[in-house]
Amino acid sequence: MRSMNQLEITSLNSQALNRLGIAQKAGKLITGEQVLKSIRNQEAQLVIIAQDASNRTKKQLTNKCKYYNIQYHIGLTIDNLSKAIGKNNRVALAISDRHFANMLLKNNEEGII
């Protein structure tokens, strides 16, 4: 059974990838070990976790998101996430800006991502 916090995103198009890149350039994207910290501080508005992340990483991040009631998505690959933001080996991203998060959520509702 899927949690209410988890988004159903089945595909990702270039527009959504571009928006992740824009969020990165605007300084509204958190990566690496800071993702967990941003969840704990409730700074994260949306967390994106790579589907090929380790089970331990996925469990740790999803449990924290559920506890702090932060929306998350599992389904992209490490390669997709990394290319979108121009960094290597990114397993998870946290979007700290509500507007960027809403933009991606709106795209999800419209079937764009």
Tens of pLDDT, residue by residue over 26-42, are 989 999 899 999 999 99
Selection from 73, 64, 76 nearest residue 33 by Cα: 64
The strand ranges marked E within 1-113 are 29-31, 46-50, 71-76, 92-95
Torsion sign over Cα 62, 113, 94, 41? negative
So what's the architecture of 14-109 in CATH?
2-Layer Sandwich (3.30)
**C-alpha 102 chain-centroid distance:** 12
> Which 3 state secondary structure label does DSSP give 61?
helix
pLDDT at 10: 42
Which residue type sits at 3?
S
The per-residue pLDDT for range 44-56, each reduced to its tens digit, is 999 999 999 999 9
End-to-end CA distance of the chain: 22
Mean pLDDT in consecutive groups of 10 residues from the start of the chain, 113 residues: 47 72 90 94 94 95 96 87 88 94 73 47
For residues 47-75, one letter each, b for 16 or more C-beta atoms within 10 angstroms of the residue's C-beta and e for the rest, the string is bbbbeebeeeebebbbebbeeeebbbbbb
